[in-house]
Amino acid sequence: MSISLNTLKLHNERLDELVRRLEENFSARPVTPNDNIESIMYRAGQASVIEYIKSIMEDEI
């Protein structure tokens, strides 16, 4: 099966948009003394998923 360059470009643009939306909604925020450990760990997990996706995208380039 062959894939055209236009299809690859569309695929990359969609992934870039996905990462942008994830960063917008789930990016790391500063920790405050009022945050409980569960909240900190949950947010850290969200940020690590975004970083993982970005690293996969960089490896494919």
| Statement: residue 34 has pLDDT above 90 | yes
Backbone angles phi, psi at 30, to 5 degrees: -60, 145
pLDDT digits (tens, 9 = 90+) for 19-33: 899 989 887 788 899
User: With contact defined as beta carbons under 8 Å apart, do 46 and 26 qualify?
Assistant: yes
Q: Is the pTM of this model over 0.95?
A: no
DSSP state for residue 34 in the 8-state scheme: T
Summarised one tens digit per residue, pLDDT across range 35-52 is 999 999 999 999 999 899
Total domains in the chain come to 1
Q: What is the pLDDT of residue 59?
A: 80
Range(s) of the domain holding residue 53: 5-60
Task: Give dist(CA 61, CA 58) in Å, integer.
Answer: 5
